[in-house]
Amino acid sequence: MSFPAQPQVKPARPEFSSGPCAKRPGWTLESVAAKAFLGRSHRASKPKAQLKSVIDRTAKFLGVPEGYRVGIVPASDTGAVEMALWSLLGPRPVDVLVWESFGAGWATDIQKQLKLDDVKVLTTEYGALPDLAAVRPEADVVFTWNGTTSGARVPNADWIAADRAGLAICDATSAAFAQDLDWAKLDVVTFSWQKVMGGEGAHGILVLSPRAVERLESFTPDRPLPKIFRLTKGGKLIEGVFKGETINTPSMLCVADAEDALDWMEQLGPETIRARADANFAAVQAWADARDWVANLVDVPEARSNTSVCLRITDPAVAALDDAGQRAFVKAMVTLIEKADAGYDINGYRDAPAGLRIWCGATVDTADVEALTAWLDWAYEAVKAEAAAA
């Protein structure tokens, strides 16, 4: 079997990592540095105003309802989620939805670290969704809107009761900006700049509904809270967190980068930003549908992510291999593509089934996605040819 020839066209920007994600088209460090208050205290008037501006512009772009609080918090999306879990959970039963690694992590924290009593974990395999109808309206529910490591997302929030007694706590880190969030059904929403915005890591965004604020001000956890988790003082919300007075020192370079991303997104508008992600996903899905060796990990079309697109190898010869063999096959493909500088960081998540994961968020250009698919075909044929020749 002859070794296939490489494609002629490479992606102009071969960054397909699912976090940190590709920068916006035309991004330069110089454009960000020009906006950054470097060497300045984040509590000085102009840096503080920039932090507040990023908060306000984020809320407006996402359509966050009046009365909700939006704040910048430490430790990326993980920090924002943990802050919510440790500060809010306890007075009600808790349902945790698990269909990928991050949801599994929240379940572990709730059961083994917080050690709450009435916890129900609704779980299923990668590529599927658990029984959403089984969520108890009297319970607090913790879930990821978009499973970054499985490629499965909730299609909507219809399963969350409008008259729920519990809080809906949503990790939306790879969904915010690219997917419609039903704010009326969500009490806590978290995400980070490093996903759809293409921003830098280390900072998270925490959005609280009035119901979440009421819980914070009426419930005192019977556990120690680290300083970076504390959202109340004397039984009242620390409002400064939501006005640019961050809990710990932020990177003003990262803040300027977030401002730069917002400049770009605002020029295009929310609909166009979502449409860019949809177009990228459509390019990958159309390619996969036309191949007999690869398929979306998610069987139900309505549950397929338009950002973190996860694929499995369906070639019977590869599928018949054990897990280690399948992972070796995928790694060989990924390595070939990376060495050719045609696509970076497209291996599936380490806890997910063996396969590929391609970031299709708004900062990625569809032409680059289409160019990558030709390299995926090439790498697949090349690894098969190499195996046949061995």
* pLDDT for the residue 238: 97
* pLDDT for the residue 108: 97
CB distance 73 to 205 below 8 Å: yes
Helix (H, G, I), strand (E, B) or coil at 361: coil
Q: What is the enclosing helix (H) or strand (E) of 342?
A: none
* pLDDT for the residue 1: 53
Topology of domain 269-389, per CATH?
Aspartate Aminotransferase, domain 1 (3.90.1150)
Q: Does domain 29-266 have CATH number 1.10.1660.10?
A: no
* pLDDT for the residue 389: 87
* pLDDT for the residue 390: 80
CA distance 80 to 212: 14
Give buried/exposed letters for 270-301 (b at 16+ CB in 10 A, else e).
beebbebbbbbbebbbebbeeeebbbbbbeee
CA distance 59 to 45: 21
Residue 56: both structure tokens together: 């306000």
Residue with token string 């698919």: 373
CA distance 264 to 32: 12
Helix (H, G, I), strand (E, B) or coil at 293: coil
* pLDDT for the residue 191: 98
CA distance 291 to 383: 16
Residue extents of the structural domains in the chain: 29-266, 269-389
Sequential pLDDT tens for the chain (390 residues):
577 999 999 999 999 999 999 999 999 999 999 999 999 999 999 999 999 999 999 999 999 999 999 999 999 999 999 999 999 999 999 999 999 999 999 999 999 999 999 999 999 999 999 999 999 999 999 999 999 999 999 999 999 999 999 999 999 999 999 999 999 999 999 999 999 999 999 999 999 999 999 999 999 999 999 999 999 999 999 999 999 999 889 999 999 999 999 999 999 999 999 999 999 999 999 999 999 999 999 999 999 999 999 999 999 999 999 999 999 999 999 999 999 999 999 999 999 999 999 999 999 999 999 999 999 999 999 999 999 888
CA distance 13 to 365: 8
